[in-house]
């Protein structure tokens, strides 16, 4: 391999990984979209829920409610949107995954979006 081919490949490789990381289209993994289904889903199942955070239970744990029911969610402070207060009536979208430990089910939230 000559030097020009090597340098071209070295420059293009990082660009191809960036394109894949920014893909936003459909994928083979289906997300759970209802609280009652999330509480019954397998560990590490992706979740996208829309509803309200009805109460703060303690530490990073909240109770989330949608039309299907309620489920406990764990939200780290840095995962809330900056400068946007969230009340019990604020509609939110939670993106995360099911976390099952010792029989307890929680949603480990990675991102909170305010919808209204």
Render each residue's pLDDT in the chain as its tens digit; 116 residues: 565 655 455 555 555 545 555 666 666 567 889 999 999 999 999 999 999 999 999 999 999 999 999 999 999 999 999 999 999 999 999 999 999 988 789 999 999 999 97
Nearest to 76, CA basis, from 96, 49, 105, 98: 96
CA distance 7 to 9: 5
**CA-CA-CA-CA torsion for 44, 95, 71, 91, nearest 10 degrees?**
-170
């Amino acid at each position: 391999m000559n030097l020009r081919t090597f340098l071209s490949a070295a420059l293009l490789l990082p660009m191809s990984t960036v394109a894949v990381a920014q893909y936003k289209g459909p994928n083979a993994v289906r997300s759970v979209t209802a609280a009652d289904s999330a509480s019954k889903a397998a560990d590490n199942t992706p979740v996208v829920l829309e509803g309200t955070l009805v109460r703060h239970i303690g530490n990073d744990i909240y109770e989330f409610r949608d039309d299907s029911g309620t489920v406990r969610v764990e939200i780290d402070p840095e995962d809330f949107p900056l400068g946007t207060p969230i009340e019990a009536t604020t509609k939110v979208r939670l993106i995360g995954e099911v976390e099952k430990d010792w029989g307890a089910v929680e949603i480990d939230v990675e991102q909170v979006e305010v919808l209204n």
